[in-house]
């Protein structure tokens, strides 16, 4: 079972904005395209806390080995919640602008 930890909306400029929500955290975030990406290993997006502008994490475009589809893999870290891994996926429903981050706990 996948656990949703964020609900996001795609904006016209490519930014995804929404709320990161866990048992201890409820913070507005933005996934901002990395305009200064200098290498293939650099993240494709930066994850920013909207309240204070702190960088919480980053995301990398990946291709699924099973389906061949592209997705965004994210990693976030903060003292309040430690390290969180997740994947950005379409939200339930038919709105292509709506996305979610699904928690991907370590095995």
Contact between 85 and 105 (Cβ < 8 Å): yes
Residue whose pair of structure tokens reads 């975030």 in the numeric block: 29
The rounded percent of the chain whose pLDDT value lies above 90 is 86
Q: What integer pLDDT is reported at residue 78 of this predicted model?
A: 92
- The residue among 93, 74, 86 whose CA lies nearest residue 32 is 74
CA 59 to chain centre: 6
Each residue of 7-34: pLDDT tens digit? 999 999 999 999 999 888 899 999 999 9
Say how many CA atoms lie within 13 Å of 43 toward its Cβ.
17
């Amino acid at each position: 079972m996948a656990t949703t930890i964020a609900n996001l909306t795609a904006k016209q400029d490519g930014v995804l904005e929404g709320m990161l929500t866990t048992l201890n955290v409820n913070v507005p975030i933005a996934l901002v395209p990395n305009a200064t990406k200098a290498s293939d290993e650099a993240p494709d997006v930066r994850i920013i806390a909207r309240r204070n502008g702190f960088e919480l994490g980053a995301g990398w475009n990946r291709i699924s080995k099973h389906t061949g589809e592209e997705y965004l893999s994210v990693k976030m870290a903060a003292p309040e919640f430690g390290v969180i891994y997740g994947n950005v996926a379409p939200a339930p429903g038919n709105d292509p602008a709506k996305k979610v981050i699904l928690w991907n706990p370590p095995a």
